[in-house]
Amino acid sequence: MLAEKYQERIEKIFAKYPDKRSAIMPLLYVAQEAYGWISPEAINEVAALCQIDPTQVKSIAGFYTMFRETPKGKYWLQVCNDLPCALRGADQFYQELLDYLGIKDGETTADGVFTVEHVMCLAACDKAPMLQCNFHFHENLTMETMKALIEQWRAEAKAAQGK
């Protein structure tokens, strides 16, 4: 339960707003962190915290692309291949990344570690190819640096699983 587990954080969030319903989005991030995605239970919990209808929470979660409404890999890689990035080779980079992981656009690897998808502009055109992993930017990538990151994340995921 979010309310117990993150009580202090939730209280801090509520303190920032005049109305409880204003806190929907920060609370959805808390839920996403806790569950890895915005599950139906997460929707109900956030709705109860904000004292609004679950449907309204679902609507917000659905509108914004940074809320995951389906379970995703531990590392959620969003690669920008909009025009400026594509000009810097992002298209080719993206295809190579998919091939390296052996999945297609939007899919998750069999071990559940990586989900890869292409997204619209992330506002770092000058540093393409770039991607966002769990909302952190990784810029000026090449397949070499990318492979290193992937192996690092894979190892971290394995270590976390082993615990």
Partner 1 sequence: MTDTVRLIIDGVVHQVPKGANLVDAAKMVGNDIPVFCYHPKLAPVGMCRMCLVELGQAGIDKDTGAFQLDDKGQPAIRWQPRLATACTTVVTDGMAIKTTTPQVTEARDDIVEFLLTSHPLDCPVCDKGGECPLQNLTMRHGPGESRFLYEEKQHLAKHYPLGDLIYLDRERCIQCARCTRFQEELVGDAVLAFHERGRRLQIVTTSNPPFDTYFSGNTTDICPVGALTTADFRFGARPWELTGVPSICPHCPVGCNVSASTRLDRESGGKIVVKRIMPRQNESVNEIWICDKGRFGHHHSRHGERLTQPLIRQGGKLVPATWDQALALIAEKISAADGDVGAIAGGMVSNEDLWELRQVVENAHGGKDHKSLGVYPYRLSGAEWVAKVGLSKGSNFGQMGKGTTIVVIASDLSEEAPIWYLRVKNAADRGAHLITLNARPTELDRFAKSKLKISYGGEIAALKSLTEKPEVKDAANVVIFVGGEGLDRAGHATLMQGAASVLTSTGHAGKVNNGLIGVWAGANTQGAFDLGYSSEATESLLNKRPAVLILADADIVAEDAANVSLLAHREGKFTVVSEMFLTATAAQADVVLPRQSFVERDGTVTSGERRVQRFYTAQTPLDGPRPDWKVFAEINRLRTGSKPKLSAAAVMKEITEKIAAYKGLTYAELGKVNKQFPDVGGDDPYYGGTAYENKGGLGVQWPTEADQGKVPSVSMPAVGKARKLESGELLIVPIVELFDRKPAFAASAPLLHSHVPAPYVVLNSGDAKTLNLVDGDKAILSSGGVEGEYTVRVDAAVPAQTALVARNLNLKSPTPAVPMVGSIRKVEVVASHV
56 binds partner 1 (CB under 8 A): yes
Instruction: Report the residue from 26, 36, 54, 84 that binds partner 1 according to the rule CB under 8 A.
Output: 54
Is 55 a residue that touches partner 1 (CB under 8 A)?
yes
Query: Site map for partner 1, 63-102, x if CB under 8 A?
Result: x---------------------------------------
- Taking the least distance from each CB to partner 1, the nearer of 54 and 89 is 54
Candidate ranges 54-62, 101-109, 111-119, 137-145; the one touching partner 1 (CB under 8 A)? 54-62
Taking alpha carbons only, the member of 43, 52, 45 closest to residue 22 is 52
Q: How far is the CB of 120 from partner 1 (least distance, A)?
A: 12
Is position 40 an interface residue for partner 1 (rule: CB under 8 A)? yes
Q: Which residues pair with 114 in a beta bridge?
A: 75
Three-state SS annotation for the chain: CHHHHCHHHHHHHHHCCCCHHHHHHHHHHHHHHHHCCCCHHHHHHHHHHHCCCHHHHHHHHHHCCCCCCCCCCCEEEEEECCHHHHHCCHHHHHHHHHHHHCCCCCCECCCCCEEEEEECCCCCHHHCCCEEECCEEECCCCHHHHHHHHHHHHHHHHHHHHC
106 near partner 1, rule: CB under 8 A: no
Confirm or reject binding of residue 53 to partner 1 (CB under 8 A): yes
Nearest approach, Cβ of 49 to partner 1 (angstroms)?
15
Query: Does the footprint of partner 1 cover residue 48 (CB under 8 A)?
Result: no
Residues at the site binding partner 1, with contacts judged by CB under 8 A: 40, 43-44, 52-59, 62-63
